[in-house]
A and B are shown apart, each in its own frame.
Chain A
Amino acid sequence: MLRSLQIEPEKCTGCLQCEMACSYHAEGVFNTAKSRIKVFTFHEEGRFVPYTCTQCSEAWCMHACPVEAIVINETTGAKEVIDDICVGCKVCTIACPFGTINYNTETKVTYKCDLCGGDPECAKACPTQAITYVDSDHGGLERMRAHAAQNLPQEGA
C-alpha cells in the first residue's frame, strides 16, 4: 500500500529537526536552506507549519516538464526529479501551485521531496510526531473525519 507524509501542524514545535535530517540525507550537509521540507513560522498565532510536496495526483510539475525529467517512483508513488535529465528550465517551479519544487542555483537543477525512497527522514527525526509516514488511505480517512466533524453540530449544542 502507498504511504504518504501526514503533517499535523498543531503538534509542531518549530525545532527544525526535520529540515536538518532532510538536508543531511539529500545533500550531505546540515543546512536547513537545502531542505525539501520547510517549517513556516506564524509568530502572531504562535504556530509552526511544516510543509512539503504532497506527491499530488495531478503532478503539475511532471506534466509541465518539457524533457521528461520528472517521473513517478512506482514503489513509493513519489514524483522524482532525475538530475541527469533535468536541463534546469524551471518551468516545473512555476507550474507547481503548492510551491514545493524549487531550483538549486548551485547544481542548476530542480529538487523536491522524494520521500527518501520510502523511508522519509523528516518523519523519523520529528520528536513530536507532527510528521508521520502513514498509509495513504489512513491519512485520507483522518482528513475526511476531521472535515466531516467540522460540519457537525457541537456536542451538547
Chain B
Amino acid sequence: MKHVVIGAGPAGVIAAETLRKVDPSSNVIIVGDEPEPPYSRMALPYYLIERINEQGTYLRKDSSHFSSQNIDVIRDRVSEIDTKSKSLKLDNNDSILFDKLLLATGSHPIRPPIEGMDLPGIHSCWTLEDGRNIIKRAKPGANVVLMGAGFIGCIILEALAARDVNLTVIEMGDRMVPRMMDQTAGNLIKDWCQKKGVNVHTSTRIEAIEQGSGDALKVRLDNGEKLDADLVISATGVAANTQLLEGTGIETDFGVLVNNRLQTSHPDIFAAGDVCQGKDFSTGEYSVQAIQPTAADHGRIAAMNMVGKDTIHQGSVNMNVLDTMGLISSSYGLWMGVDGGESTNLIDNERFRYLSLQFEDDILVGAQSLGLTQHVGVLRGLIQTKLKLGKWKEHLIKDPTRIMEAYLANTQAIGHNAQVL
C-alpha cells in the first residue's frame, strides 16, 4: 500500500505518523513545497520575538525523526493530480503513484484587492520566509502598518511591539478579532493595545499603498489619513489551498468537501487540516476551521480511514487562544450564543477580565474569556461532553468563574453522589 500526503504541516505530519503506526508495511510519503523541515506556523510569533530559533518551530525536533519512521519527505510542489491514474506530478517532472492520497495542503494568506499590494515592503506573516523578511524591515523606530486585526494580526502584535517599532493597526471590522470575540471583548483588546502604545483604527480600510521617498511607503486610509510605513504586514485572513484541485473533479466549496470519514468525493482521496471543510462539533455543519487542534484531529482520523480502519469524525470544537501583547483571550464553540439560549457574563473593565458563557437548555455550548489562564480547558470539556449542568447552570449564571466546580460537581464524588451522606 502506498500512502501519499500532500502538505507537511501538522495535519500532514500527524497523518503520516499515524499511517506508519497502523500500517507498518506501507510506503508513506509526504510532499511539502517549503524548503525547511516540517514546521509549525503557530510558533512563528515566538520566532519573531527571537525567543526560539528556526529549529524551535520544527514540528519534530529529532532531525532523523522522519527517516527513522521510514517516512519519505519530498521537498517539491505538486503541479498536478491525476485522479484516474492515481498519480501526482511534481514541479521537477517526477511522477508519484498513490493508492491513497491525503490533501493536507493547508491555507494561504488572502491578498486584499488594494492598489499597490505589489510594492516591495509588503509582507504577509505566514511562512518562515515571511518571518525572516519581517525581521529585516521591522527595525527599532521603523513605521509599521499592520493590515488586519484578526487572529494572526493580534498574535504578532507583541512580536512587533517588542521590536520597538512605531505600530499602527488598521482593521475594517468594528472591533479587534471579530471572528473570535464579541463586541465587549474585542473592544477591551483594542483598549489594551492602545494603552500599550499601539495606534488602532477599527472600521477603517486601506484604500491604496503608494511608493514614498526611498524605500518608504505611503498608506492611504478611507478616512483620508495618510500613514508613512517602512513595512506593511498584510494579515487579512486565510483561504484554503484548493487551487491544485481545479479540473480534478474533487468537489470543493470554501475548502475540500468531505464526509464524516474525511473522505472527499473521490473514494481514495482524503482531506485534513486547513484545506478541509470538516464537521463542526457545535453546529453539525461542515466548515473550514483552520486551527491547530482540528488539524491534529483530522490528520489522525483521515489516516485511520485511509488504511481501512473505519473511524467516524464526530466533529471538532472550534476553539482559539490568543495572546495580544500579554492579554490572553480564548473562545469556544458557539461563543456568539444560540437562539433561545441563555447567557451570562462577568466583566471587569479595569483589569481587562471578561468571561462569557452560552447555554442551550442546561448544556454549555460556547464561551469566551479574557485574562483567564487557569483551568480554561474545562470549558472544552463541558462543551464537548454536553454535560447536563442541572442546578449548576444557575450557579454558573450567578458566578461564571465556577466552571471547574460545575465540572467536578457533575463528575466526581461530591455531596450526595459521594454516597457518604
The interface of chain A, by Cβ under 8 A from chain B, is 8-10, 38, 40-42, 45, 47, 49, 51, 60, 63-64, 66-68, 85, 87-105, 108, 146, 150
Contacts of B250 in A (CB 8 A): none
Establish whether residues A99 and B414, one from each chain, have CB atoms under 8 Å apart when the complex forms. no
Known: A68-B60, A94-B320, A99-B403. 19 other contacts (CB 8 A): A10-B418, A40-B408, A41-B405, A47-B414, A51-B408, A60-B377, A64-B296, A66-B43, A66-B59, A85-B56, A88-B323, A90-B330, A90-B373, A93-B373, A97-B377, A98-B407, A99-B377, A102-B375, A104-B373
Q: Write the B38-58 contact mask toward A (1 if CB under 8 angstroms, else 0).
A: 001011001000011000111
Q: Write the B48-85 contact mask toward A (1 if CB under 8 angstroms, else 0).
A: 00011000111111000000000000000000000000
Contacts of A42 in B (CB 8 A): 405, 409, 414-415
- Minimum CB–CB distance from A89 to chain B (whole Å) comes to 5
Of residues A41, A64, A96, A103, which shows the largest number of chain B Cβ atoms within 10 Å of its Cβ?
A64
The residue of chain A having its C-beta at the shortest distance from the C-beta of B61 within the complex is A68
Count: A-B pairs, CB below 8 Å? 136
- Residue among B51, B374, B377 making CB contact with A94, cutoff 8 Å: B377
Q: Write the B169-203 contact mask toward A (1 if CB under 8 angstroms, else 0).
A: 00000000000000000000000000000000000
Establish whether residues A38 and B404, one from each chain, have CB atoms under 8 Å apart when the complex forms. yes
- Minimum CB–CB distance from A49 to chain B (whole Å) comes to 5
User: Once bound together, how far apart are the Cα atoms of A108 and B14, in whole Å?
Assistant: 26
- Minimum CB–CB distance from A7 to chain B (whole Å) comes to 8
Does chain A have a CB within 8 A of B98?
Answer: no
Interface band, chain B: 35 or more
- Minimum CB–CB distance from B246 to chain A (whole Å) comes to 30
Does chain A have a CB within 8 A of B107?
Answer: no
The residue of chain A having its C-beta at the shortest distance from the C-beta of B391 within the complex is A44
Can you sample 17 A-B contacts with CB below 8 Å?
Answer: A9-B412, A40-B404, A42-B409, A49-B414, A66-B59, A66-B292, A88-B323, A89-B43, A90-B321, A92-B377, A94-B320, A94-B332, A98-B381, A99-B377, A99-B404, A102-B373, A105-B326
Contacts of A103 in B (CB 8 A): 328, 373
Q: Write the B10-22 contact mask toward A (1 if CB under 8 angstroms, else 0).
A: 1000100000000
User: Once bound together, how far apart are the Cα atoms of A2 and B320, in whole Å?
Assistant: 34
Contacts of A63 in B (CB 8 A): 14, 296, 300
- Minimum CB–CB distance from B350 to chain A (whole Å) comes to 18
The residue of chain A having its C-beta at the shortest distance from the C-beta of B40 within the complex is A66
Establish whether residues B57 and A67, one from each chain, have CB atoms under 8 Å apart when the complex forms. yes
- Minimum CB–CB distance from A53 to chain B (whole Å) comes to 11
Contacts of B418 in A (CB 8 A): 9-10, 47
User: Once bound together, how far apart are the Cα atoms of A97 and B319, in whole Å?
Assistant: 12
- Minimum CB–CB distance from B93 to chain A (whole Å) comes to 33
User: Once bound together, how far apart are the Cα atoms of A92 and B320, in whole Å?
Assistant: 11
- Minimum CB–CB distance from A9 to chain B (whole Å) comes to 6
Contacts of B379 in A (CB 8 A): 94, 99
Contacts of B403 in A (CB 8 A): 99
Establish whether residues A101 and B377, one from each chain, have CB atoms under 8 Å apart when the complex forms. yes
